[in-house]
Every structure is written in C-alpha cells, then in structure tokens.
C-alpha cells in the first residue's frame, strides 16, 4: 500500500532545469517511482547527455526558460509525446551575489525572466492543455528559503522567489476545482553546481554557520518532498510551500 501511494507508474513529468543538481535528483527519483521524465536545460548537448545518463525513461529537450516562445514550443512537443501529469519548475538563475545597489537592470530582468516568468508560463502552458482535457495534474514550483526569509546580497533572487510563492498559492486557488494541484518546495542553502562558487567564497563559512542542523543541504534532501507532491500521497494538498532548510528560517 505504501508503494502504491507514492507510485508514479504511468505518469509523465516535465522537469525544467533537470540536467543537474536538484532537478536531476528529482528526475532520478521520479524514474525510480515509475515515471517517464522530460528534462530541460539550456545546452542541447548537456540536456541530451543528462537524459542519456538517466536511462530509457528520460527524454531531454533543450529550452531557455527565460524565453516564453521556447516554453510554448517545449510544452507542445511534450504533448506530442503524451500528456504531462506533473510539472516541476526547477530552472533558475542567479547572476550575482552582491549588494542591491550594484545590481543592474539587465541582471534583475534576467533573474525574473527565468525564475518567475518562466515558471509561470510553463505552468500555464501545461495547465491549459490539462484543463481542456479535464485531466488532473500536479505543479511543483521549486522556490527557495529566500522567498520567505531575506537573504543579504540576493535581493533580485529573493524577490523572484517570493513572487513564485505567491504565484503558487494563486494558481492553486484558481485550479483546485478542476483537479490541478499547485505546491512549492523551498530549499535552504543547497550544495549544487549553481551554488559552489558562493560556498567556496569568503561568505561560505558564515552561511553554513547559520543552519541549525549544521550542514548544507544536498539535492537528495529535496526528493522526498517532490515525490510526495507528485504522487497520490498528496491528493489533498494544494497551495502549500514546504520549507526544507535545516532550520535556517528559525534564526
């Protein structure tokens, strides 16, 4: 009974930014639970390579999450393969770790285009098709502790992730009566290729010291929540943001 509760057998999941880090770990877990996964990344070669490493149940589709036209084409291609049951909006960017007054307009726009606008329109493109076919679905937005707790030198990133959290709740409210659940995962400081330079810098020691559990997260720490939200185990859960931060928000 436990296995069937968390099974993704027969489901297809679209995971943006699925070529590495948290997205890749979620893809691996979903495959182990029986799903077929479609992962995206900006690099065509890198996306194909990551999909090949995941095995026969993975398909790689290059997509720039900051480009709505590419997102629309991506979802159309996915539907030619088969309906998408689960969306994981994981693609993200953060071009800078510095004080707010030094952030440029171009950097701000890029962070919002990828982290917030891209997630919004990926969810919308999938939901339109699910609603037209009266199919249920699950949207999982990978946010951040920065959406709930102010993090110095990450102003644009925190603002975009706060927007994602509110977007999650609004879409959950709008689609609940038609069977599409929308939830979020908010990781704390997590060791990935995306964050390695920051943790190796002079700021890294201080960031670690702020975590009550005494360590940085690994991508594997996020997969349990993602599996729960993708599966029937969370059938009565929508509009929730699951904070997985080692207690950092308690500081």
**What residue ranges do the domains of the chain occupy?**
2-191+217-244
Tell me, what's the pLDDT at 199?
Answer: 75
Average pLDDT over the chain, rounded to whole? 95
Q: Would the pTM count as exceeding 0.85?
A: yes
How many angstroms from the chain centroid is the CA of residue 217? 16
Q: Per this entry, what is the length of the chain?
A: 251
Question: Which SS3 state, helix, strand or coil, does residue 203 take?
Answer: coil
Residue ranges of the alpha helices (H) in 10-67?
21-32, 44-54
Whether residue 157 lies in the annotated active site: yes
Question: For residue 95, what pLDDT is reported?
Answer: 64
Catalytic residue, chosen from 24, 120, 157, 228, is 157
The residue ranking higher by pLDDT, 201 or 229, is 229
Going by pLDDT thresholds of 50, 70 and 90, the confidence category of residue 144 is: very high
Residues 6+ apart with CB under 8 A from 19: 39, 40, 41, 43, 46, 47, 49, 50, 60
Band of residue 180 on the pLDDT scale cut at 50, 70, 90: very high
Sheet holding 36-41, edge to edge: 58-62, 36-41, 12-15, 86-89, 137-142, 180-187, 241-244
Q: Which residues of 114-135 are buried (b: 16+ CB within 10 A; e: fewer)?
A: bbbbbbbbbbebbbebbeeeee
Q: Evaluate if residue 196 carries a pLDDT over 80.
A: no
pLDDT at 248: 93
**Domain 2-191+217-244: which CATH class?**
alpha beta
Tens digits of residue pLDDT in 66-80: 999 999 999 999 999
Q: What is the average pLDDT across 202-222?
A: 88
């Amino acid at each position: 009974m436990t296995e069937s509760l968390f099974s993704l057998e027969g489901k297809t999941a679209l995971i943006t930014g699925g070529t590495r880090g948290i997205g890749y770990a979620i893809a691996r877990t979903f495959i182990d639970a029986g799903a077929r996964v479609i992962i995206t990344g900006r690099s065509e070669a890198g996306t194909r390579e990551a999909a090949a490493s995941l095995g026969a149940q993975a398909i790689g589709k290059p997509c720039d999450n900051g480009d709505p036209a590419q997102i629309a084409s991506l979802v159309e291609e996915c539907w030619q393969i088969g309906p998408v049951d689960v969306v994981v909006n994981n693609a993200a960017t953060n071009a800078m770790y510095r004080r707010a007054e030094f952030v440029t307009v171009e950097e701000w726009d890029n962070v919002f285009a990828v982290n917030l606008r891209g997630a919004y329109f990926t969810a919308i493109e999938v939901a339109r098709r699910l609603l037209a076919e009266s199919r249920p679905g699950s949207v999982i937005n990978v946010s951040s502790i920065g959406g709930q707790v102010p993090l110095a030198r990450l102003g644009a990133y925190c603002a975009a992730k706060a927007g994602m959290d509110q977007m999650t709740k609004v879409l959950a409210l709008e689609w609940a009566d038609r069977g599409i659940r929308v939830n979020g995962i908010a990781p704390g400081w997590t060791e990935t290729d995306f964050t390695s330079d920051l943790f190796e810098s002079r700021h890294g020691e201080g960031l670690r010291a702020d975590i009550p559990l005494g360590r940085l997260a690994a991508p594997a720490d996020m997969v349990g929540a993602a599996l729960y939200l993708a599966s029937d185990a969370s059938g009565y859960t929508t509009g929730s943001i699951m904070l997985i931060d080692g207690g950092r928000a308690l500081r």
